[in-house]
């Protein structure tokens, strides 16, 4: 599942670890799922590509990166994920061990860190419900699925980011996924 989407589990794990570290080692899952979505969205806004190539869905509590949420919830196992992120305990998730530091997050580029620091500065004081409400109000691609989930296309996100070439940008993501799928199946 992960390989077929071109998803970068190691980068998603390190982004998760970044926010857990900044939060003191553990982070609330609802807050995390919103900030991870906003991470992908902000990276798309700045660089016309997702940061870790997740799939997006609308859920009752707002938009989420679905592959990462499945990793958080333990529905998928991945070695890269487990190196940086501990299993979920109740409503929290944290770093895998005390050896994880901001300096050990080697997958994150300066551009990645710039987005993460921007979002941390903007949202670190928000509680989980304030951040959820923010995504409801500021992510027009989200539609309340009323107890279910509904896919959100990258093209729609680009459209609401006012990208004039949203279809072309979305096609580029699809090409990335096809290449990743072909390589995963070799």
Sign of CA dihedral 179, 104, 55, 72: positive
Separation of alpha carbons 18 and 25, rounded Å: 9
Give a yes or no: residue 182 inside a domain.
Answer: no
Give a yes or no: residue 129 inside a domain.
Answer: yes
pLDDT tens digits, 63-78:
999 999 999 999 998 9
Residues whose CB falls within 8 Å of the CB of residue 153, separated by 6 or more in sequence, listed in order: 56, 170
Give a yes or no: residue 152 inside a domain.
Answer: yes
Separation of alpha carbons 39 and 14, rounded Å: 12
- The helix/strand/coil state of 85 is strand
Instruction: Identify how many contiguous H helices and E strands the chain contains and give both numbers.
Output: 8, 5
Q: What is the pTM assigned to this prediction? A: 0.94
Task: Using alpha carbons, select from 33, 23, 113 the residue that is nearest to residue 71.
Answer: 33
Q: Is 157 exposed, middle or buried (0-12, 13-18, 19+ CB in 10 A)?
A: buried
* Contact between 58 and 150 (Cβ < 8 Å): yes
Give a yes or no: residue 59 inside a domain.
Answer: yes
Domain of residue 57 covers 3-176
Total domain count for the chain?
A: 1
pLDDT tens for the chain, residues 1 to 186: 555 578 999 999 999 999 999 999 999 999 999 999 999 999 999 999 999 999 999 999 999 999 999 999 999 989 999 999 999 999 999 999 999 999 999 999 999 999 999 999 999 999 999 999 999 999 999 999 999 999 999 999 999 999 999 999 999 998 888 887 777 777
Give a yes or no: residue 114 inside a domain.
Answer: yes
Give a yes or no: residue 99 inside a domain.
Answer: yes
Residues whose CB falls within 8 Å of the CB of residue 23, separated by 6 or more in sequence, listed in order: 124
Give a yes or no: residue 80 inside a domain.
Answer: yes
Give a yes or no: residue 26 inside a domain.
Answer: yes
Q: What is the pLDDT of residue 3?
A: 56
């Amino acid at each position: 599942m992960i390989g077929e989407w071109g998803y970068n589990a190691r980068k998603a794990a390190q982004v998760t670890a970044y926010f857990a570290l900044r939060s003191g080692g553990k982070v609330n899952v609802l807050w995390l799922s919103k900030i991870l979505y906003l991470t992908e969205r902000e990276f798309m806004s700045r660089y016309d590509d997702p940061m870790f190539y997740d799939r997006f869905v609308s859920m009752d509590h707002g938009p989420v990166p679905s592959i990462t949420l499945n990793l958080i919830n333990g529905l998928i196992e991945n070695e890269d994920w487990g190196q940086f992120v501990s299993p979920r305990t109740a409503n929290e998730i944290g770093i895998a061990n005390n050896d994880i530091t901001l300096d050990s997050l080697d997958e994150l580029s300066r551009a990645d860190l710039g987005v993460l620091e921007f979002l941390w500065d903007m949202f670190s004081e928000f509680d989980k419900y304030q951040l959820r409400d923010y995504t409801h109000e500021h992510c027009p691609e989200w539609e309340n699925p009323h107890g279910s989930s509904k896919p959100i296309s990258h093209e729609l996100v680009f459209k609401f980011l006012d990208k004039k070439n949203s279809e072309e940008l979305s096609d580029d993501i699809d090409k990335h996924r096809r290449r990743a799928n072909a390589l995963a199946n070799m």
